[in-house]
Amino acid sequence: MSAVLVAVVLSLVSAVAYAAAAVAQERLASRSPGSGTLRLLARGAWWCSVGLNAGAALLHVVALKYGPLTVVQPLGALTLVAAVPMGARLAGRRVSAVEWRGTALTLLGLAAILVTASGPAPDDVLSVPEALTVAGATAVLIGVLSRPGARPGLRHASASGVASGVASALTQTVTVAATDRSGPLLSVQVVGVALLVAAFAAGGLLLSQTAYRGGLGGPLAMVTLANPLAAAVIGLALLGERLQGGPAGVLLALAGAGLASWGVVLLSRAAPAAVPADDDHPVAAVLALEPGSATAEPALVPRAHDPGHLTTATR
């Protein structure tokens, strides 16, 4: 099995795990839109979503060891493709025709990008000054996107996507530098960049949680677009990665990016009215509200006029 194929398989599994985490985060955000970070820390469902994100990130790290950023990051768009049927299933509805068209266009666009981006395994890394420069510029951009103003959901989603994309680029530096055996495992470069990865990954997670208060489709689509864009800029500008096929490859990649963007836009606009989810669904049970909330299971008590009949209590 080639290194690029290994990276693709790992990226696919990672995308599904990220999708499950996004659906869990959106459900939590929609149930308690005013909850702060400290209240989320007390919720088991939020920690489940953190665990899913951590597992997906680990798979992503391994994928970055075998494949270049220009291959691994576009596959992150499949997170949106997987999240659509997951969200529809938990909402108790079918995937709409518009959502299927968006899924098909996204897959076609990704296929075109992969044809031109299938290069060798990465061997170049960011130097410490380059990593610090990227981190500083990213922090400024995130601060601008996170400022108070109109459409905070999409802006926070953009900031989350940029933070995650930069974290992926920095992660590639850590994995390649730590496994090339040309220097100490815990060098200043590895430890310093690893701390930056942790900071941007945590920031991306919290920003996405805030963005999902406005729904799943639009914010997740924005994260999906901003993430690979940020990583690709770093890969092409600083890591020496190149698209395959010359001018024809560039045109094919642009066409693929256009198709994928069109598909993402369709997916973000398709938001059918949700119906109550089936509480018997295993994933819905994991994401169920805590006891005492509005949808918690009511207690059963006898009716006053019929002691032998059970009915729900009024709380």
Residue 175 has pLDDT above 50, yes or no: yes
222: confidence class by pLDDT, cuts 50, 70, 90: confident
For residue 119, what pLDDT band results from cuts at 50, 70 and 90? Answer: low
Q: Is the pLDDT score of 304 beyond 70?
A: no
CB 256 within 8 A of CB 88: no
pLDDT tens-digit map of 62-73:
887 788 766 787
pLDDT band at residue 182 using 50, 70 and 90 as cut-offs: low
Split at pLDDT 50, 70, 90, the class of 160 is very high
CA–CA gap between residue 128 and residue 183 (Å, rounded): 15
Determine the pLDDT at residue 276: 42
What confidence category does residue 285 fall into, taking pLDDT thresholds of 50, 70 and 90? very low
Q: Is residue 52's pLDDT more than 60?
A: yes
Q: Which stretch of DSSP H or E encloses residue 66?
A: helix 44-66
pLDDT cut 90: percent of the chain above it: 10
Give the whole-number percent of the chain exceeding pLDDT 70: 76
Residue 105: pLDDT over 80: yes
- Comparing 258 with 31, the larger pLDDT belongs to 258
**pTM strictly above 0.75:** no
Phi-psi label, residue 114: left if phi above 0, alpha if psi -120 to 50, beta otherwise? alpha
Query: Is residue 298 predicted with pLDDT exceeding 50?
Result: no
**Which residue type sits at 19?**
A
**Burial readout 96-113 (b: 16 or more C-beta within 10 A, e: otherwise):** eeebbebbebbbbbbebb
Indicate the pLDDT class of residue 297, thresholds 50, 70 and 90: very low
Over residues 102-111, the mean pLDDT reads 84
Rg (CA), the chain: 22
Buried b (16+ CB within 10 A) or exposed e, 26-41: bbbbebeeebeeeebe
Of 48-52, 117-121, 181-185, 274-278, the one with minimum mean pLDDT is 274-278
